[in-house]
Amino acid sequence: MPIQHTPRPSRHSPRFPNKIREYRLKAGLSQRKLAETLGRGRNAVSSWERGLTLPSVPRLLRMAKILNTLSEALYQDFYATFPKEGDTNPAKP
């Protein structure tokens, strides 16, 4: 039986894939400005962008509104894919 190698994430690789930085930069906001708007410190935004921690759900929803996007867009890899419209054979849970 072959041995499976599972690479360990380095301390520099994000644990939680997200696009917060991308949308923040598109909105023209600094980490400090976004943090102030959300009532947090700049370090919190930095941790979210690096994937070290996750924002609370209410904060994630407010952040999405501030960044003019959907919360799903910020953490799209966390959301399951749903059957396309017209799909007659959706996957069973």
CATH number at residue 44: 1.10.260.40
Provide the pLDDT for residue 72.
87
pLDDT at 93 over 50: no
- Give domain status of residue 9, yes or no: no
Neighbouring C-beta atoms of residue 55, cutoff 10 Å: 22
- Give domain status of residue 7, yes or no: no
Mean pLDDT of 54-73: 92
- Per-residue pLDDT tens over the stretch 31-54: 999 999 999 999 999 999 998 898
User: What does the alpha-carbon distance between residue 60 and residue 62 come to, in Å, rounded to a whole number?
Assistant: 5
- Give domain status of residue 10, yes or no: no
Domain that holds residue 27: 20-78
Q: How high is the mean pLDDT of the chain?
A: 80
The overall pTM is greater than 0.75: no
